[in-house]
């Protein structure tokens, strides 16, 4: 806006005033008019400057067409007032450079803090996956031990069947005997021994059932572990967390472990239904019930920890969104500052033009005054006092003009400082990470996700094939069990038939007396077999005692594991307090954005080194596991009894 010049003369009317009406008056005292300012409601403010001076014998009227001057012959002084208004921008709402730098520092520190939390969550997820894999390996070893136990029980069952056949053969031989009384005694002994063997068979069958239940429970555990692994993999895919590159040797090891796991997956009935939490309390007949209950409690605790981390991730995403919104607001403010600076430059140019116009007008007025003074030299003696007053008024105006000049120079300097701050803000904006880098990283994550998806589908197809082959083997085993049951029924029928024949043999006691010697020999042989059976029973009792000791040791280990869990919880609280202290120190220590970027690069390199070390450690563990597996497959280990293996396991 242009400055407003207003000439106020309340005692003088140019149109209605005549020369006769003007009368001579004594000189009046100069009225001091203070400099005042008018504040507006808008963002812009106006400055007003005013001054008084008295006219002598003339008045100036500026019209649109031309300029006319009227000379006044009377000595009436007229008090006039010139008001100059200028507009000054209000800089109270403008954002300063310090505020922008503080906000940038705060955003950088929050980004760094969030990235550190994200890396910690990644490390925790990797550790959990490694622990689950170790537990799966332990369960696989337990499955192999139970398989060996089942094979040994089947061998014992075959031996008992063989002994039963030998007894039948001996009974057929006894038909020819003549000494009935001794034969009856021998038959009664055989009945007692057969009853003992039947009891032993029933105990063996019960143990076989318990082992079969143990296998089913272990299969359920393996199935649940597989579901948890799939859940972790889905979480990694949703968060677009890249997996480390694996060597061919490491991939081969993973495929081998996948094949071994697929051999122990549940049947189609258990595979199709939704997962229901298993109540291990029903399995109180054998030693695995309390162990599996403790394992279930540990899984629940880990699920709760996983839910807590998911809630923290949701909070993290909310904070990231808030930070993005703040960045957008700052970017809009920067654009508004640029627009304001352009407007200020335009207004400065207009002010300069107006100042030039005022200078020209002042020069014109000075020339007019000099001309009028030449014409009015004759009246100078009378109006010397008035001329002095005019010069004083002129000095006041000149001082105000000098003030306006100084204010104009100050405005120019402010404009230069605004331009410099604008350039610094632009340079800071160039230092930020461009969007193209973020887009490239997102594209790489998408490629890795597609590759992992293809690998998962291939592994899934392999597992389906292995499951089909296992289903076929299970059907074959069921058929064999049916055949064995039919054989068992036939043998029971034969035993009943033999009992009928024994009743018939009571009538032939006289014919069997001459074969007593042979019966005595058979009796001694049966005594030897009884001794063998007693030794076998003693071995079974010793095995049961060893298993009970192993169970007690396992319970002690579970108590120690619970103590370790409580220690870990206390350590987590301590780590949280340490994290708060680190946050407070971080707000004081970070100086510039460039240093934070360098620190992030260094931390990324160290994390890569640690990750490679962990991969090497896992490879060495896998190699040791394969060596142990090869050593367990040797014939020396195959010949050992299962209770010795359990003893070595729980040392």
Averaging pLDDT over each range in 111-115, 240-244, 336-340, 433-437, which range is the top one?
Answer: 111-115
pTM of the model: 0.19
Give the distance from CA 46 to its chain's centroid. Answer: 56
- Confidence band of 146 (pLDDT split at 50, 70, 90): confident
What residues contact 403, with CB distance under 8 A and at least 6 apart?
49
pLDDT on residue 193: 74
Return d(Cα 176, Cα 52) in angstroms, integer.
Answer: 162
Output 432 or 261, whichever has higher pLDDT: 432
Output 240 or 288, whichever has higher pLDDT: 240
User: How many CB atoms sit inside 10 A of residue 171's CB?
Assistant: 18
Average pLDDT over residues 57-68: 43
- Confidence band of 624 (pLDDT split at 50, 70, 90): confident
Average pLDDT over residues 561-573: 74
pLDDT in tens, 157-174: 787 778 777 777 776 665
β-strand pairing of 67-71 with 36-38: unpaired
Residue 444: pLDDT above 80?
yes
> What Cα–Cα distance (Å) separates residue 478 from each residue in 72, 141, 156, 469, 473?
137, 25, 20, 14, 9
CB 85 within 8 A of CB 48: yes
- Confidence band of 3 (pLDDT split at 50, 70, 90): very low
Residue 399: pLDDT above 70?
yes
| Cα atoms found within 13 Å of the Cα of residue 122, Cβ hemisphere only | 17
pLDDT in tens, 22-60: 444 445 555 444 444 444 444 444 455 455 545 454 444
Average pLDDT over residues 267-277: 43
pLDDT on residue 180: 60
Residue 622: pLDDT above 50?
yes
> What Cα–Cα distance (Å) separates residue 104 from each residue in 321, 585, 601?
16, 18, 19
pLDDT on residue 510: 66
Residue 407: pLDDT above 80?
yes
pLDDT on residue 179: 53
């Amino acid at each position: 806006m242009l400055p407003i010049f207003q000439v106020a003369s309340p005692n003088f009317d140019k149109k209605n005033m005549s020369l006769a009406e003007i009368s001579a008056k004594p000189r009046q005292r100069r009225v001091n008019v203070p400099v005042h300012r008018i504040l507006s409601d808008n963002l812009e403010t106006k400055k007003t400057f005013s001054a008084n001076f008295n006219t002598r014998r003339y008045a100036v009227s500026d019209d649109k067409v031309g300029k006319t001057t009227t000379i006044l012959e009377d000595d009436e002084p007229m008090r006039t007032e010139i008001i100059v208004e200028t507009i000054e921008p209000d800089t109270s709402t403008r954002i300063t450079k310090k505020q922008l730098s503080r906000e940038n520092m705060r955003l950088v520190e929050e980004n760094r803090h969030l990235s550190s939390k994200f890396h910690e969550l990644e490390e925790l997820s990797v550790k959990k996956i490694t622990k689950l894999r170790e537990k799966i390996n332990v369960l696989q070893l337990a499955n192999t031990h139970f398989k060996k136990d089942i094979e040994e029980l089947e061998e014992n069952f075959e031996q008992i069947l063989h002994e039963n056949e030998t007894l039948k053969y001996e009974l057929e031989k006894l038909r020819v005997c003549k000494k009935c009384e001794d034969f009856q005694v021998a038959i009664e002994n055989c009945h007692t021994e057969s009853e003992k063997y039947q009891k032993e068979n029933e105990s063996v069958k019960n143990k076989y059932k318990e082992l079969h239940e143990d296998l089913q429970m272990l299969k359920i555990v393996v199935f649940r572990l597989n579901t948890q692994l799939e859940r972790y993999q889905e979480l990694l895919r949703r968060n677009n967390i890249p997996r480390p590159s694996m060597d061919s040797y490491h991939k081969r090891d993973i495929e081998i472990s996948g094949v071994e796991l697929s051999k122990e997956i549940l049947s189609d009935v258990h595979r199709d239904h939704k997962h229901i939490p298993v109540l291990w309390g029903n399995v109180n007949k054998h030693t695995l019930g309390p162990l599996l209950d403790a394992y279930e409690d540990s899984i629940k605790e880990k699920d709760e920890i996983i839910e807590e981390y998911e809630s923290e991730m949701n909070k993290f995403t909310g904070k990231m969104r808030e930070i993005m919104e703040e960045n957008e607001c700052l970017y809009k403010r920067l654009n508004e500052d640029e627009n304001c600076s352009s407007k200020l430059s335009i207004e400065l140019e207009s002010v300069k033009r107006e100042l030039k116009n005022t200078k020209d007008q002042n020069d014109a007025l000075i020339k007019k005054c000099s001309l009028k003074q030449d014409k009015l030299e004759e009246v100078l003696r009378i109006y010397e006092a008035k001329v002095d007053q005019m010069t004083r008024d002129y000095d006041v105006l000149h001082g105000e003009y000098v003030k306006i000049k100084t204010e104009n120079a100050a405005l120019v300097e402010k404009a230069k400082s605004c331009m410099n701050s604008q350039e610094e803000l632009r340079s800071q904006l160039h230092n930020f990470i461009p969007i193209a880098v973020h887009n490239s990283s997102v594209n790489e994550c998408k490629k890795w996700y597609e590759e992992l998806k293809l690998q998962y589908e291939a592994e899934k197809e392999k597992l389906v094939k292995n499951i089909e082959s296992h289903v076929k083997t299970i059907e074959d085993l069921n058929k064999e069990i049916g055949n064995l049951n039919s054989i068992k029924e036939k043998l029971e029928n034969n035993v009943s038939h033999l009992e009928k024949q024994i009743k018939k043999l009571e009538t032939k006691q006289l014919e069997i007396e001459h074969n007593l010697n042979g019966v005595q020999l058979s009796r001694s042989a049966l005594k030897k077999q009884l001794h063998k059976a007693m030794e076998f029973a003693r071995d079974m009792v010793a095995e049961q005692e060893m298993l009970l000791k192993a169970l007690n040791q396992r319970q002690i280990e579970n108590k120690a594991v619970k103590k370790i869990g409580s220690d870990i919880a206390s350590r987590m609280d301590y780590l949280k307090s340490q994290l708060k202290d680190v946050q407070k120190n971080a707000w004081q220590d970070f100086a510039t954005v460039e240093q934070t970027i360098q620190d992030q690069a260094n931390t990324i390199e160290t994390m890569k080194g640690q990750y490679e070390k962990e991969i090497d450690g896992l490879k060495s563990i896998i190699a040791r596991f394969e060596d142990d597996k090869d050593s367990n497959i040797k014939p020396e280990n195959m010949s050992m009894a299962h209770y010795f293996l359990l003893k070595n396991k729980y040392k």
